[in-house]
Structure 1
Amino acid sequence: MGNYFIVRKKAEFQTSRWSGGSTTQLYLYPEDSSYSEGNFQCRISSAAVEVDKSDFTSLPGVKRYLSIFEGNLEMVHGEADRVCLQPYEVDCFDGGVPTVSFGRVTDFNLMLKNGAEGKMETARLKAGESLKLEPKAGENLLAVYVRCGKAEAADCKAEEGELLLCKDWKESVVLVNSGKEETGLGICRVRV
């Protein structure tokens, strides 16, 4: 039976402007839902933060994961919860808590809502290296964003800026760096 992957290309993504830069929506589930209407369960995106200080949009009821691919990011959640992220580190926080960030970065986001559960991971693979992922606790959606380099899974290949997507994740997956340079990955494991 196996896992079936598709590759979503850059041309398929929606990019929009916000007060601090631009956001590219990589995937939204259900696919007929709307981020602006808030009726989604899972949203995966990457944003370019182009200002030194930005206020996050208040998203009550949304569990957020955030990582950065380059630069340094300092975030303050609420009054005193301070987090400093280096590239490929991940933070998880409540989208309803006021959050301010400091730093110009490219980030990677996972938003979970309306009963969806999951988590974000990151990985850097050297040429020829691989990473095995097993679905846990009912996880059935796997999305792997190739920030840099090349990656493949189950004979499906993705290049920089593309998303490997398995909408019916049932068994272990081996991600392989199929290029000659380091591959940087943002990995979202979700139960919807």
Structure 2
Amino acid sequence: MFKVLKECDRKISNWSGGVTKELYIYPEDGNYQKRDFKFRISIATTELETSIFTKLENTNRVISILDGTMELDHIGHHTITLEKYQIDRFYGEWETHSKGKVTDFNLMIKNGNGDFFFEEILDKKEINFSEKIKSINFVFCISGELEIEKTKINKGEILITDKESITINSKKGQIFYGYVEI
């Protein structure tokens, strides 16, 4: 599997604090509203200064900031202030309060494991996802233009693949890349 999803492919939904754009859901016929998914990658815009995250039982969450600054208070666990591209990992069943109007990048994994990371590509970068586990891997282009296996990926687009490693060519491209065990 090797596919690029563009901005026009996104499902957009409103929630009490803003707007969410679903970049990818697995399985592909999954439904976030019904909580029928293995994992989901999305971008959310928070339009309220304070909000409370929806509790998601048995779900590992990874979140980062694309625009703005957000303070997360995971009640009884930890508090963190996230600036652009900083990452926080937490459990969906935690009571989580947020402060700050932001655009964030989210990975939600139900009953499983996965993660993502930030990288700036200045020329050429090989990314090895995992040789030991079966996974679905992704690269989200935050800025710049990427070339992966002769395929152009522009700002706001996401590559979904099951390849164990890829080579990215770019000049000052910024990405989130990650994996989810399946």
Q: TM-score range by the shorter chain?
A: over 0.9
Greater share of residues in strand: 2
Candidates 134, 139, 149, aligned match of 2:128 = 134
Q: Which residue of the partner structure matches residue 31 of structure 1? A: 28
Q: In the TM superposition, what is the alpha-carbon distance from 1:90 to its structure 2 partner? A: 0.8
Give 1:81 deviation, angstroms. Answer: 1.3
* Structure 2 match to 1:149: 144
Query: Which sections of structure 1, spanning at least 5 residues, go unmatched?
Result: none
Give, in whole Å, the separation in 2 of the partners of 1:130 and 1:52.
39
Query: C-alpha displacement at 1:140, in angstroms?
Result: 2.2
Q: Which of the residues 150, 165, 175 maps onto 2:168?
A: 175
Map 1:15-164 to 2 at 5 A.
Answer: 15-79=12-76, 81-114=78-111, 116-126=112-122, 129-136=123-130, 137-164=132-159
TM-score where L is the length of structure 1: 0.88
Give the C-alpha shift of residue 139 in structure 1. Answer: 4.3
Question: How many angstroms apart in 1 are the aligned matches of 2:147 and 2:135?
Answer: 19
One-letter code aligned to 2:8 = A
What percent of counterpart residues are identical?
34
Residue identity in the other structure for 1:41: K
The amino acid of 2:175's aligned partner reads L
Question: In the TM superposition, what is the alpha-carbon distance from 1:9 to its structure 2 partner?
Answer: 0.9
Q: Give CA-to-partner distance per residue, 1:108-166, whole Å, 9 cap, x none.
A: 0001113x32111111223xx22221122414211111122111211111111111111
Residues 88 and 123 of structure 1 are in contact (CA less than 8 Å); yes or no, is this contact kept in structure 2? no
> TM-score, normalised to structure 2's length?
0.93
Q: Gapped runs of 5+ residues in structure 2?
A: none
> How many residues are paired up?
181
Partner of residue 8 from structure 2, selected from 7, 11, 17: 11
- Mapped to 2, the partners of 1:20 and 1:57 lie a distance apart of 11
Kept after mapping to 2: 8 A contact 1:138/1:191: yes
* Equivalent position SS for 1:88: coil
3-state SS of the aligned residue for 1:11? helix
Per the alignment, residue 188 of structure 1 pairs with 178
Q: CA RMSD in A?
A: 1.5
